[in-house]
Amino acid sequence: MADSFIEVVAQDGGRFNAYIARPAQGSGPGLVLLQEIFGINETMRSTADRFAEEGYVVLVPDLFWRIKPGISLGYGEADMKQALDYLGRFDVDLAIDDIAATVATLRALPEQAGKVGAVGYCLGGKLAFLSAARTDVDCAVSYYGVGLEANLDEVPAVRCPMVFHFPENDAHCPPETRERISAALRTRPQIEQYVYPGCDHAFAAPSRPQYDKPAAMMAYSRTLALLRKVLGPVYDLNALWEAHCYYEFATRDVDAVMPTMVAQPYVNHVPTMTGGVGHDKLKHFYTHHFVNSNPADTKLIPISRTIGADRIVDEFIFSCTHSCEIDWLLPGVAPTGKYFEVPMLAVVCFRGDKLYNEHIYWDQASVLVQVGLLNPEGLPVAGIESARKLLDETLPSNQLMGTKSRV
């Protein structure tokens, strides 16, 4: 990993290392990633690599270098004790100077293009806040920052956009303290803050027992929304999704589909749990059960498309004649020759300029009714009319309610 570090010259003349992660594109906006109390460990390095996939040139400065260079701790009891000892000897003011030196070094790199932001976790969450108040970063994000209440007098100095992520049940920040912090932050209109119900400190750290994946994913999207807005890079997600679908349904070319996705993507068709995780399994699925398994008259009718910072929500109608076995949609069902239309919803997540995952939803009961495998008599199930009403809102509502709809 030696070639993944660069040297930073501190403002007082000292020298320390910073882990660097570069985007595949070769250049991009800058991001300073600020450590927890465990040093530049595997979690921080993998997080930096993930942000590099998003298009950023990332530096993770060794902020414990004045105590002991190169600290990389795990999350066990002994390492926690050691980390707390380092924290007790940590000088916050000198650390902010070191962060300022890191920002300057990052801005001077030939591969860094445009603005620079900061993202920090735990101790780094506090340092991200203070960096926004004391340095020239262009935006900052704080995850469960510890001890923020001690520096609320610096909130007025924060002039760049910021996002704060607060877990509801953070033992290091009880509700009354969080409310005091929140009240101070509300005085700055460019600051966003979010509370994650039921979550504890370190909810965004995959290697720790407090990890909460849904909350971490939500927080990550909100973080990325700020970074994209202030720093860029901005990718044409619509064009990327259109190209992906073109190779899937028009040219039916698996070898063209796969390069539109990250190295290890996953796809989940939620009602049937078909798809794949990882390049090889997904390519096998696409080859043998999806791209070449759709009927000749397959058609996608667009209804709406919502585009966010890192995902697309695509609403459409899928229609075809069940003239061949459709493994991903009706696995194990022999062709019935029946025509059907069904509303579908695709939630497509991107990482940088590549698709990362797809969650596809539809009403399987409606499909089963239309192909003759489910008798709708006495059941609250709609057939093709559920798709037709998306195209014509004047069609009657509440038909399944019978006489109750007239009460």
Radius of gyration of the chain (CA): 25
Please give the structure tokens belonging to residue 28.
């991009």
Give the whole-angstrom CA distance, residue 151 versus residue 160. Answer: 17
The active-site residue out of 62, 98, 138, 170 is: 170
Assess whether 201 carries a catalytic annotation: yes
User: Strands 339-351 and 354-362, how do they pair?
Assistant: antiparallel
Give the whole-angstrom CA distance, residue 407 versus residue 403. Answer: 7
Please give the structure tokens belonging to residue 349.
């997540």
| SS3 category, 171 | coil
Residues in the chain: 407
End-to-end, the C-alpha distance of the chain in Å comes to 71
| SS3 category, 36 | coil
| SS3 category, 174 | coil
Give the whole-angstrom CA distance, residue 14 versus residue 23. Answer: 28
Give the whole-angstrom CA distance, residue 370 versus residue 188. Answer: 55
Assess whether 173 carries a catalytic annotation: no
Beta bridge partners of 304: 315
CA torsion through residues 40, 199, 228, 100, sign: negative
The active-site residue out of 201, 244, 269, 289 is: 201
User: Strands 28-34 and 5-9, how do they pair?
Assistant: unpaired
Give the whole-angstrom CA distance, residue 194 versus residue 197. Answer: 10
Please give the structure tokens belonging to residue 134.
């004391």
The active-site residue out of 62, 98, 122, 139 is: 122
Assess whether 153 carries a catalytic annotation: no
- Please list the active-site residues: 122, 170, 201
